[in-house]
Amino acid sequence: MFAAVRWFHVCPGAKENKSYYHPDRKIITLLYAVPVILFPYMFNPASHGSWLLVKGYYPLTHLFYCAVLLFNYFGKVKQWERWHLSGIISSVLVFASVILLFAVALWPGLQISTAMEELLTIIIFSVGLLMTAYCGFAMWQVWQWIHEYSTDNFSNTEDFPLTYARSVLIIPVIHALLVWPMVLLDSPTWLAAMQIMLSVFNAIFLISILPSKRKGNPLEQMIEDNREADIEEALEQKLPTEEENKNCPPNRATRPPKSSLTLRRKRLISKSLQRQSASLKRFPNRLAKRSPTV
């Protein structure tokens, strides 16, 4: 249900540029749909294999989901793509472990030995702790971006949702406090209580993210990107100081050619143009509007 609401509900003004106003819309829809894999526990909660599946699913996935959502949303806002490799490696570790537990839960007549259960438990704890650390890194990176914008290091501060960024940093902490006690206590009762609390929390979170959190608009962002490219080129062309001239006289051969600086500037600008080209072609008269409200 949450996946369907997130996919089909878009505020009227944001329909023109969904990827700008809701950068995480597609991936949130996917992650909300993944828990369907827990159906073996729903139909056979007495099965030990089903219990291992649901017990391992939450520590394996929830902190990973938090990290990916933080990187995906704020990484797109910042045009920061360095997280992609770590995201791919983490997703392989997580979903390989979940698929293994899913196969164990569905295997007909499988007798889970003590050695097998210990091995599966080690996998759950190892990958789960690794994803917790990965989520901690994502939180630290977003905190760095919050500090940059809150200290006015960027002129276009409206494009970065500072209030939203500060508020979502508590979400991984809540998930960790709910998930890890269930794993450590190995308690179906705590699992039931945790699922009820997570359902309420996810409903509140879904309602809160339906309106767009970005106040800027694509046209302003493109102009800002071009301006930052001009500033970067000007800094690279800065003349050396007198002390630098005394120590190392200027040499034309060592200066970067103007063509290379121009090429770099074109590459920076092209990223912004590619990101906004579709919106500029289809809706040129409505880009100057502020962020929509529901």
Retrieve residue 99's tokens.
């698929």
Tens digits of pLDDT across the chain (294 residues): 665 655 555 666 555 665 566 666 677 777 778 888 998 888 888 888 899 999 999 999 999 999 998 998 888 778 788 888 999 999 999 999 999 999 999 987 788 888 999 999 999 999 999 999 999 999 999 999 888 877 765 545 556 778 888 888 999 999 999 999 999 998 889 999 998 998 888 888 777 766 666 565 554 555 455 555 556 555 555 545 555 555 555 554 444 444 444 555 556 556 555 555 544 444 444 444 444 444
Look up residue 9 and give its DSSP letter. -
Among residues 2, 124, 126, 115, the alpha carbon closest in space to that of 51 is found at 124
The per-residue pLDDT for 234 is 59
DSSP state letters, 46-101: T-HHHHHHHHHHHHHHHHHHHHHHHHHHHHHHHT--TTHHHHHHHHHHHHHHHHHH
Single-letter amino acid, residue 215: K
Judge contact between 14 and 294, C-beta under 8 A: no
Q: Which of 169, 147, 4 is nearest to 78 (CA)?
A: 147
Place of tokens 């200066």: 255
pLDDT score recorded for residue 125: 95
Kindly give, in sequence order, each residue whose CB lies less than 8 Å from that of residue 270, ignoring residues fewer than 6 positions away: none
Distance CA 70, CA 24 (A): 9
> Are residues 194 and 271 in contact, defined by beta-carbon separation less than 8 angstroms?
no
- Residue 192 one-letter amino acid: A
Q: What is the pLDDT of residue 27?
A: 72
3-state class (DSSP) for residue 59? helix
pLDDT recorded at residue 28: 74
pTM surpassing 0.75? Answer: no
Task: Specify the length of the chain in residues.
Answer: 294
User: What's the DSSP call for residue 257?
Assistant: P
Give pLDDT, residue 288: 45
Q: Which two tokens stand for residue 64?
A: 């990973």
Sequence spans of domains, the chain: 2-209, 217-237+253-294
Among 69, 5, 70, smallest CA distance to 33 is for: 5
